[in-house]
Structure 1
Amino acid sequence: MPFRTIEVSLPEFAPAGVSFVTVKSSALKRRADLSLYVPPSSPMGPLPLVILLHGVYGSHWAWLFKGGAHRVLDRLIAEENLPPMMLAMPSDGLWGDGSGYAQHAEADYHRWIVEEVPTAATLVDPRVARAPRFIAGLSMGGYGAMRLGALHPEKFAAISAHSSCTDIAHMQGFVEETSAQFVLTEKEPLSVIECLKKNVSLLPPLRFDCGSDDILIEHNRTLHQQLDREGIPHVYEEFSGGHTWEYWHAHLVDSLRFFGKTLG
């Protein structure tokens, strides 16, 4: 077994298609949680996996019960014939106000997402083992999605992000913990642009967006300009809105449609 223990919620007590999973994580050296959603309409055969990363203050349930991610997916399947996908929504590991999905001295939040979350999803539904894998997120989770997707391009078929920090330093505007408390042991760059440049010839399709009233809008515009200067293909979009769940609920469709196009 890849985990010493795994606990999965019983379907008769959970919302339809939703599973809550707790595993003993070797990367984090403690138990860790994720929520999974499989649309009831999913056919037999390979099932693409979408890893959705939450922002600061949140946990594994945020994309479901603040973002309505399962309802967004169901609507796109019904109205636009989007291929069914599994949504895997892990906690970030619950360090401080947010781990940044990075490797700390006391726990590897990077490896938890890239290696252990897909493994846990596969144990619950083996169909995802044979299908493409995508990664997306909001705010701190957008940072995690772009950074981890860039560092592991062989693992992901596409990357999408909303309202993102583009460097772990940008979390200082949101979290209580000081930069000195982030005892990071990452050997890889901490800025998104440097990670994207590192594997530029291997990158999967990339998109990101930000609201015009978002506190992080200038960071996103700067990343877009840097990518243009480097000649790195990407899609960047701006919409009306701020750093809110109303915005992320509305624009999760852009990530899922983007992923769906890679399956066409």
Structure 2
Amino acid sequence: MIKTLLFGLSFFVTLASMAAKVDSLNVPSTVMQRTMRAVIVLPESYAKSKANYPVLYLLHGGYGHFNDWITKSPDKNLIQRLADQYNLIIAMPEGEVFSYYLDSPVRKDSQFETYLTKEVISKLDNTYRTIRDRKGRVITGLSMGGYGSLLLAARHPDLYCAAGSMSGALNPDMQSWKLPPDMAKGIKQEFEKILGPIEQVPDTYATFSVINLADRLKANGQKLIFDCGVDDFLIEPNRELHRRFVFNQTPHDYSERPGGHSWEYWQNSLPNHALFFHNVLKENGSITQ
């Protein structure tokens, strides 16, 4: 019995020693004149290697924060396990509750496109051993983060070789979103804070629609993956982006699966994105081991 207990204890200690490291990083923003935080997950192999690692930027959703993927996913070890499985650094930066990861033309303290593409990447590259090239960077996220990842990829093809979206809120005009009127009104008001009233600046909303960036994403030649649950209130915008990619012949991986706008769905979706990105990074010669 004692030998069995000792063996079991040794087994779990061994598992713990193999776990990825969860780090917290302060990322100062010159453009917004404040400092925000990010969660960084380093694969177990990082401490024993001198190699440079590819980075997966993983964005949180609306009304959330940088640590959502670690604290809200039902599987609390999901991110660490994926980092170990694919030898990836996984970076989860702050996007605040409703920034949509864009540079707001209304609020000077909400310039998250510049923050993510310049300040966060620079801080990460100067803190960890990363591949400082687009061939070693990929990006995805959920809901607002899915929108943000495709927007940033479309506008910065020099930074990311692949991008994804889970249940992406792809169009700020909210056309075809299936929401109760009260909820739709509240979200519309949040968009007005960062973009202005849609009735006054419809062209701004059109410019920031990922659906309207389908041709640009095709021209960029990045590898793309996105999905949405069939019961999600955002299913129709995702289907529309898929239709546009089919029409303009953009290679992409699109899927619909059972589920709604939930952590259970995103927990099941993320491993598919990680595998997709692994294959892209392998093709690029950016896999460490």
TM range (shorter): 0.7 to 0.9
Deviates more, 1:145-154 or 1:176-185: 176-185
**Does the alignment pair 1:106 with 2:118?**
no
For 1:192, the equivalent position in structure 2 comes to 210
1:246 aligns with 2:246: no
Instruction: Pick the structure with greater CA Rg.
Output: 2
Same amino acid, percent of matched pairs: 30
Aligned pair count reads 244
Output the TM-score relative to the length of structure 2: 0.76
Work out which of the residue numbers 137, 154, 158 in structure 2 matches 1:154: 158
Moved more, 112-121 or 56-65: 112-121
**Unpaired segments ≥5 residues, structure 1:** 1-14
1:123 shift after superposition: 2.7
Where in structure 2 are the equivalents of 1:1-264 lying within 5 Å? 17-42=21-46, 43-67=49-73, 71-76=77-82, 82-92=85-95, 94=96, 97-104=97-104, 105-107=107-109, 108-129=111-132, 132-170=136-174, 173=184, 175=187, 177-183=189-195, 189-264=207-282
Unaligned 5+ runs, structure 2: 1-18, 178-182, 283-289
3-state DSSP class of the match of 2:27?
Answer: strand
Question: Compared with structure 1, are the counterparts of its residues 119 and 20 closer, same or farther at alpha carbon in structure 2 (3 Å cutoff)?
Answer: same
Q: 1:169 to 1:28 in 2, by over 3 A?
A: farther
Assess if the C-alpha contact under 8 Å between 2:169 and 2:234 holds in 1.
yes
| Conserved? CA contact 1:100–1:168, under 8 Å | no
Q: Please report how far the alpha carbon of residue 37 of structure 1 lies from its aligned counterpart in structure 2 after TM superposition.
A: 0.6
Matched position secondary structure for 2:207: coil
Is the contact made by 1:52 and 1:89 (CA closer than 8 Å) also made in structure 2?
yes
**CA RMSD between the two structures:** 2.6
**CA separation of 1:126 and 1:69: change in aligned 2, threshold 3 A:** farther
C-alpha change, 1:149 and 1:180, in structure 2 (3 Å) is same
Alignment check: 8 A CA contact 2:37 2:94 kept = yes
Structure 2: which amino acid aligns with 1:216?
Answer: L
Greater helix percent: which structure?
2
Which secondary structure does the structure 2 equivalent of 1:154 belong to?
Answer: coil
Kindly state the Cα deviation for residue 251 of structure 1 after the two structures are TM-superposed.
Answer: 1.1
